[in-house]
Amino acid sequence: MIKVARSIRTGRLGRRDSAIRRDTGMKGSNAIRWLGLVMAATAAMTVSAAERSGALSVAARVTAACDIGGSGSTRHLQRGLLDFGIHQLGGSASLTLQADLSQPVQGTLPIWCNTAQATPTVAFDQGLHAHGGQRQMLGPDGTLVPYQLLRGNSINAGDWDDMPHSVQITAGENTDIPVYGYIPGLPDAATGGVYTDTVTVQLDF
Query: From CA 9, how far away is CA 50, in angstroms rounded?
Result: 40
Please give the average per-residue pLDDT across 91-104, as a whole number. 58
Query: Could you read off the pLDDT of 22-55 as tens digits, one per residue?
Result: 444 545 555 555 555 555 555 555 555 789 999 9
Report whether pLDDT(9) > 90: no
Report whether pLDDT(77) > 70: yes
pLDDT-derived band of residue 75, with 50, 70 and 90 as boundaries? confident
| Contact by Cβ (8 Å): 198, 124 | no
Query: From CA 13, how far away is CA 178, in angstroms rounded?
Result: 103
Task: Locate the domains of the chain by residue range.
Answer: 2-48, 66-204
Report whether pLDDT(7) > 80: no
- Please indicate whether residue 149 or residue 190 has the higher confidence score (pLDDT): 149
pLDDT-derived band of residue 151, with 50, 70 and 90 as boundaries? very high
Q: Tell me, what's the pLDDT at 39?
A: 54
The per-residue pLDDT of the chain, averaged, comes to 79
Q: Tell me, what's the pLDDT at 31?
A: 52
- Please indicate whether residue 111 or residue 6 has the higher confidence score (pLDDT): 111
CATH topology of domain 66-204: Immunoglobulin-like (2.60.40)
Q: Tell me, what's the pLDDT at 140?
A: 92
pTM: 0.67
| Contact by Cβ (8 Å): 109, 201 | yes
